[in-house]
Amino acid sequence: MNLQNKVRIIEFPKICDPRGNLSFVEGGRHVPFPIRRVFFIYDVPGGETRGGHAHRTCQEVVTAVSGSFDLIITDGREQVLVHMNRANMGVLVPAGAWITMPNFTTGTVLMCIASEEYEEEDYIRDYDEYLRYVQALPEGERPVVAL
Ligand code: TYD
């Protein structure tokens, strides 16, 4: 099985300190790809939902740096839900997986580490189009949605 195609939980190093904890992420070591981009989602109204798309080639590692939300990942057949509320935990979202992130609490900061620079053409934002796309992928290239 191609591990890069599989959803998985990643623990980041955590340096505990009475002055406050520190975590860090190195590309190719803590995430399985060279890091091309990092983006943040913040000032999200409580109860809001983000996401609602898939990427054709971009892999992402999603973390709740502060606050919480739910990360729902599907390939149209299987679905996993991870409650995101730890700054030292990331979830690898493989290319070709559809994500939705409901239930943001007020003040949440989501950090996403991505394998590619931003490219709108890499997105699939229509769920019916997504289902056609993912069903046409060769079995070995499908995202593996399981934990
Ligand atoms: P989008 O990825 O749809 O947000 P969500 O995290 O909810 O899935 O991005 C929202 C908007 O921001 C969209 O117009 C594209 C733009 N955007 C960029 O310009 N650069 C980026 O790196 C990202 C992630 C989004």
The rounded Cα 46 to chain-centroid distance in angstroms is 20
Tell me which residue has its CA closest to atom 5 in ligand 1: 51
Domain that holds residue 127: 3-141
Is 146 domain-assigned? no
Distance CA 32, CA 26 (A): 9
What ligand 1 atom has the least distance to the C-alpha of 112? Answer: 24
Q: The dihedral of CA 82, 69, 36, 98: what is its sign?
A: positive
Higher pLDDT: 3 or 79? It is 79
Of 41, 43, 53, the one to substitute when testing ligand 1's pocket (max ligand atoms within 8 A of C-beta) is 53
Domain count, the chain: 1
Is the distance from the beta carbon of residue 14 to the nearest atom of ligand 1 less than 6 Å? Answer: no
Closest Cα to atom 1, ligand 1: which residue? 51
pLDDT at 12: 98
- The answer to whether residue 147 is domain-embedded is no
Q: Is 20 inside any structural domain?
A: yes
Pocket flag, ligand 1, residue 118 (CB < 6 Å)? yes
pLDDT of residue 2 exceeding 70, the answer is: no
pLDDT at 3: 65
Is 127 part of a structural domain of the chain?
Answer: yes
Cα–Cα dist 125/120, whole Å: 10
Tell me which residue of 89, 80, 78 sits closest to 12, measured CA to CA: 89
CATH of the domain at 119: 2.60.120.10
Residues carrying an active site annotation: 53
Residue identifier of the C-alpha nearest atom 18 of ligand 1: 118
pLDDT digits (tens, 9 = 90+) for 79-110: 999 999 999 999 999 999 999 999 999 999 99
- pLDDT single digits (tens) 23-69: 999 999 999 999 999 999 999 999 999 999 999 999 999 999 999 99
**Burial status of residue 62 (CB atoms within 10 A of its CB: 0-12, 13-18, 19 or more):** buried
pTM for the structure as a whole: 0.96
Report if residue 42 sits inside a domain. Answer: yes
- Report the alpha-carbon distance of residue 13 to residue 59 in Å, rounded: 21
40 lines ligand 1 (CB under 6 A): no
65 lies in a domain? Answer: yes
pLDDT at residue 77, as a whole number: 96
Residue pointed to by tokens 């190195």: 26
91 inside domain: yes
Residue 49 covered by a domain: yes
